[in-house]
Structures are given as C-alpha cells and as structure tokens.
Amino acid sequence: MPLRERETPRLQADADGIAQAAALLRGGGLVAIPTETVYGLAADATSGEAVAGIYAAKERPSFNPLIAHLPDLAAARRQGVFDAHALALARAFWPGPLTLVVPAGPDCTVCDLARAGLPSVALRVPAHPVAQAVLQAAGRPIAAPSANRSGRISATSAAHVLADLAGRIDAVLDAGPCEVGVESTIVSCLDGAPRLLRPGGIPRAAIEAVIGRPLVLAGEAGMAPISPGLLASHYAPAARVRLEAEAPRAGEAWLGFGPEPDAALPEESLNLSPAGDLREAASRLFGHLRRLDAMGPAIIAVAAIPQEGLGEAINDRLARAAAPR
Ligand code: TXA
Ligand code: MG
C-alpha cells in the first residue's frame, strides 16, 4: 500500500481535538493518541484498510498482531472470551497498563489483519483520560501499536511521535508526556495457564498476587516467541548499548540510575532517577535513550537496574536495545 504524504497537525487534547481525532479514526485515518504507557498509533481495528495504514506508516513487519483498545471491560468482553484468570486480572488492573491475550469471541469485530490471522485477540483498557475519551467517541475497538517506526524507541511524547511519523499520519493528539513510560504488561490467558508475554507497566508480582501462582515468561530459553514484541532486536537506538556498566569508559555516553559513580562523567550524560526510583526511571527511559542517541555517541553505557517491580520491564527494553543487529 503506497504511503500518502500528508500534513500531520498537532491537536490539543481538549474536547475539540478529541472530537477531531475520533472523527479521523471513524473515517479510517491514522492518529497518534496518548495513553498512560506510551503514545499509540491508532486506527479503526475493525477496518483492514485502516490497519494496513498502521503497518505502512510504521514500516512494521505485518506478522505482528496489534492490541485492540476498548473503553471498558464490558466492551472488551464483546471481543474476547475471558476465563476466570482473565476476568480477575481485568477487574484488578483495568483501566491500566495491562493487555490480555484471550481467545477471540464469536462476535469479535477486530479484523484479521490486526490479529495477524490468529484465533486470539489482544485487548487493553487504557486509563489515560484522553485515550478513554477518544475510545468512547470512536465507538469501536481501536488498534494501536506504539507510535514509532518499527524497531525504533517507543514514543512517550508528541515530539517523539512527530520525529518518527510526521508526514505519514493524519494527526497527533498532544496530551504531554506519558506517565508510566514503558508499554503495558501482556499476559495471555488461553489455556488456563496465564503466561507473561511481555513485562511492562504492571509488575509481575502484582499479577501473580491476583492469580495466586507464578507466571511463566513465554519466550524464555527454548520457547518460541509467541509475542513478536519479544524478538531480540527491538527498541534500537543508533548507538550500541552496553548494559550493567559500573561507569562510562572514554568516549561513551552515560545513562545512570541512582547515585552517580565516582568516575568523571561525559557531557553526554543523563540519569533515569538519581533517587533510584523505578517508576521515575520507567517514565524517563525512552526519552533519555532518544536524547542521548541524538547526541551521536558510538556507545551508550547504562548503569545496572534492579530486576524488581518495574525494573523487569526496564531491563527487558534495555536488553532489546543492546541486542546485536
Ligand atoms: O502500552 C502498550 O501496550 C502500547 C499502548 C499504545 O497501548 N501498545 C503497544 O503495542 O505496545 P505494540 O503493538 O507495540 O505491542 C503489541 C504486542 C506485540 O508484541 C504483539 O506481538 C503482541 O502485543 N500481541 C498482540 N496480539 C497478540 C496475540 N494475539 N498473541 C500474542 N501476542 C500478541
Ligand atoms: Mg512497539
């Protein structure tokens, strides 16, 4: 599908901007919308043509299925079949940064292309009030992957969206920076055994507390990745990334966490959270990676991040940014 060059206006997230965004979506357009995790590149999930536009704008491999966004659990249950675990998780964490992969229901209207031909469907009810308003006004499931070009760092502000997608989408609805900063946690509930497909904004321990048992991480050694977002190289800055660094070496940019090391820091230096707060670090992760990368270093050295709470999602994204490509 040829990519149509177009103006990409920045709409304000007021009643008028929300109405314009919803009208564009109902007409088959592409609009980047804010959610509490990252900006999503939204399109009508029931329209194959609209969804094809997402893949074209992102230059995304078309085998990647997309998340369908709904305003509430009742709307989500019209699309998918919820077992007891899925229901408990939805009630505990929706609206919020959780995506549930469930069997598609008999009346599912999410098109085949958005589901990549799978018998399952990924559903999410976002908490962001602007996303909520757009979903209410659109009145149909809205497909929305992160609003960045495929393989690039996810967008957590309207400026990031425009840097990747200006001229390729119909509008961006600007509601300022995203609060959570990493994508939703994805859990599949397909065969009675909930699996963690992607660590994200809801920590694993909070999910395990609700289902009362440990989650298996799909895609761990030897398992085929069921969630293509788990493919190794993803979220890639232009610079190479060196993980769990104690301090920057000569010539490296530095991305710190917690107190800075005693070593001299380069000019290209940012800190995810000087206080060592994992929430703050998650919300700054993609923005800081973009800012450091734009300074053109060959290598970004990153301080160690504890593997607890949101640290699991942060380390997952950093490992992908560091993967060989
Ligand atoms: O926070 C988020 O989840 C953001 C905001 C915009 O909602 N969206 C997002 O979408 O991160 P995306 O497309 O970048 O990631 C969707 C992930 C992909 O890894 C995809 O493979 C997985 O969801 N997925 C979607 N449908 C699936 C299915 N039926 N089975 C397994 N994985 C699925
Ligand atoms: Mg993405």
Average pLDDT over residues 171-186: 96
Nearest ligand atom owner, CA of 236? 2
CA of 276 to the centre of ligand 1 (A): 28
Ligand number, closest to the Cα atom of 153: 2
Task: Cis check for the bond before 261: say yes or no (omega within 30 of 0).
Answer: no
> Is the distance from the beta carbon of residue 317 to the nearest atom of ligand 1 less than 6 Å?
no
Ligand nearest to C-alpha 182: 1
Mean pLDDT, rounded, for 213-226: 61
Closest ligand to Cα 190 = 1
Neighbours of ion ligand 2 (CB under 5 A): 146
pLDDT above 70 (res 187)? yes
Query: Among 36, 64, 124, 235, which residue has the most ligand 1 atoms within 8 Å of its CB, making it the best to mutate?
Result: 64
Asked whether 153 and 146 are in contact (CB, 8 A), the reply is no
Spatial distance between the Cα atoms of 158 and 285, rounded to a whole number of angstroms:
16
Helix (H, G, I), strand (E, B) or coil at 188: strand
282 lines ligand 1 (CB under 6 A): no
pLDDT of 1 reads 46
- Which atom belonging to ligand 1 lies closest to the Cα atom of 186? 23
Q: How confident is the model at residue 223 (pLDDT cuts 50, 70, 90)?
A: very low
The response to whether residue 40 sits with its C-beta less than 6 Å from ligand 1 reads: yes
225, pLDDT greater than 60: no
- Which numbered atom of ligand 1 lies nearest the CA of 67? 25
Calpha distance 150→164 (Å, rounded): 10
Contacts (Cβ under 8 Å, ≥6 apart) of 284: 181, 272, 273
Residue 100 Cβ inside 6 Å of ligand 1? The answer reads no
User: How large is the average pLDDT for residues 116-137?
Assistant: 96
Contact between 210 and 100 (Cβ < 8 Å): no
> Across residues 173-190, what is the average pLDDT?
96
Instruction: Give dist(CA 216, CA 127) in Å, integer.
Output: 26
Q: How many helices (H) and strands (E) does the chain have?
A: 9, 15
Q: Write out the DSSP string of 244-299.
A: EESSPPTT-EEEE-SSPPSSPPPSSEEES-TT--HHHHHHHHHHHHHHHHHT--SE
Q: What's the mean pLDDT when you consider all of the chain?
A: 92
Q: Does the beta carbon of 156 sit less than 6 angstroms from any atom of ligand 1? A: no
- The tens digit of pLDDT for each residue in 79-110 reads 999 999 999 999 999 999 999 999 999 999 99
CA of 36 to the centre of ligand 2 (A): 14
Please list, in sequence order, all residues whose beta carbon lies within 8 angstroms of the beta carbon of residue 48, skipping any fewer than 6 positions away.
Answer: 111, 112, 113
Give the model's pLDDT for residue 221.
38
Mean pLDDT of 17-29: 98
Q: How many Cα atoms occupy the beta-carbon half-sphere of 140 within 13 Å?
A: 20
CA dihedral defined by 245, 248, 253, 256, rounded to 10 degrees? 60
CATH architecture of 10-217: Alpha-Beta Complex (3.90)
Domain boundaries, the chain: 10-217, 240-322
- Residue 228 Cβ < 6 Å to ligand 1: yes
Segment 67-78 shows an average pLDDT of 98
**What is the Cα–Cα distance from 91 to 72, expressed in whole angstroms?**
10
- Please indicate whether residue 88, judged by its CB atom, sits closer than 6 Å to ligand 1: no
Say yes or no to pLDDT of 298 above 60: yes
Q: Which ligand 1 atom lies nearest to the CA of residue 118?
A: 29
- Contact partners, residue 131, CB within 8 Å, separation at least 6: 33, 34, 35, 36, 40, 69
